[in-house]
Amino acid sequence: MLLKGMRSKDMRLDIALVVKMANLHVAITVLSVYTFLETVLDTLVLLPSFIIFFHDGSRRPSSAGDIAILFLAFVLNLAFALSLLCFICMHTSLAASNTTSIEVYERKKTCSWEYDLGWRKNLEQVFGTNKLLWFLPMYCTEDLQNIPTIQGLEFPTRSDAVL
């Protein structure tokens, strides 16, 4: 929530100084991707047993507890994987548009967003220029020195931004 009289740009700078916005985007996105992959793997491992449960009555687990555990584990893993996929899509779109979730819901859709440098440049500002390190929560030394948003003190803007 923005305080009265405080502009979104001021709030963005304050938040960035406290949490280092780019590092937070990287950590959340990488954690979400790896958790999504793990839950998809769990769901795929449970899938054959789940299919057998509905198709072959002779090979069903004998106890009601085993049936309940199988059903709950499969359904909960699938639901969690789908919710993580939505979360990953949301955070990727936020990084690609160079915004935070607060800014997406506060700003007017009619004005041009001054920090949006294009999706490629925006992703490089968040994840770094070395694409091999995008799925690790770290930066190469050149990125730490050359990308001002990683330091959290300066944010490049488009030259044609409408204020």
Return the pLDDT at 114: 76
The packing angle between helices 64-97 and 21-55, to 10°, is 150
Check whether 75 has a pLDDT greater than 80.
yes
Calculate the average pLDDT of the chain: 75
Q: At 3, is the pLDDT very low, low, confident or very high (cuts 50, 70, 90)? A: very low
Answer yes or no: are the C-beta atoms of 117 and 102 closer than 8 Å: no
Range scoring the smallest mean pLDDT among 14-18, 111-115, 117-121, 125-129: 14-18
Q: Which of 50, 32, 22, 27 is nearest to 129 (CA)?
A: 22
